[in-house]
Amino acid sequence: MAIIPAYARVVWIVLDSVGIGEMPDAAKYGDAGSDTLGNIAKQRPLHLPNLVRLGLANIKPLAGLIPPDAPQGAFGKCTLASPGKDTTTGHWEMVGIHLKKPFPVYPHGFPPEIISEFERRTGRKVIGNKAASGTEIIRELGDEHVRTGSPIVYTSADSVFQIAAHQDVISLDELYRICETAREILRGPYEVGRVIARPFTGTSGHYTRTANRRDYAVPPPEGMLLDLLSAGEVPVTSIGKIADIFLNRGITESVKTKSNAGGMKQIELAMERQAYGLIFANLVDFDMLFGHRNDVEGYAEALEAFDCWLPGLQLIEGDLVILTADHGCDPTTPSTDHSREYTPLLVYGPRVKSGVALGTRATLSDIGQTVAENFGTYIAEGTSFLADIQ
Secondary structure (DSSP) of 42-62: HHS----HHHHHHTHHHHS-B
Beta-carbon contacts of residue 371 (< 8 Å; ≥ 6 apart): 10, 12, 225, 229, 278, 322
3-state helix, strand, coil split of the chain in percent (to 5) is 35, 20, 45
pTM, 2 dp: 0.91
pLDDT of 306: 98
pLDDT of 1: 45
Distance between CA atoms of 293 and 289, rounded to whole angstroms?
6
For residue 286, what is the DSSP state?
Answer: I
Would you tell me how many other CB atoms lie within 10 Å of the CB of residue 318?
A: 16
Distance between CA atoms of 364 and 371, rounded to whole angstroms?
12
User: What structural domains does the chain harbor?
Assistant: 9-100+218-389 (3.40.720.10), 112-217 (3.30.70.1250)
CA nearest 142: which of 128, 160, 159, 125? Answer: 128
Distance between CA atoms of 150 and 192, rounded to whole angstroms?
22
Residue-wise pLDDT for 85-127, tens only, equals 999 999 999 999 999 988 999 999 999 999 999 999 999 999 9
For residue 246, what is the DSSP state?
Answer: T
DSSP 64-116: TBPPPSS-SSEEEEE---SS--SHHHHHHHHTT---SSPPP--TT---HHHHH
pLDDT of 2: 64
Which phi and psi angles does 346 have, rounded to 5°? -125, 130
Distance between CA atoms of 373 and 96, rounded to whole angstroms?
13
Q: Indicate if the alpha-carbon torsion angle 215, 221, 227, 228 is positive or negative.
A: negative
Distance between CA atoms of 179 and 122, rounded to whole angstroms?
10
Residue-wise pLDDT for 348-357, tens only, equals 999 999 999 9
Residue ranges of the chain with pLDDT lower than 50? 1
Which phi and psi angles does 112 have, rounded to 5°? -55, -35
Distance between CA atoms of 180 and 178, rounded to whole angstroms?
5
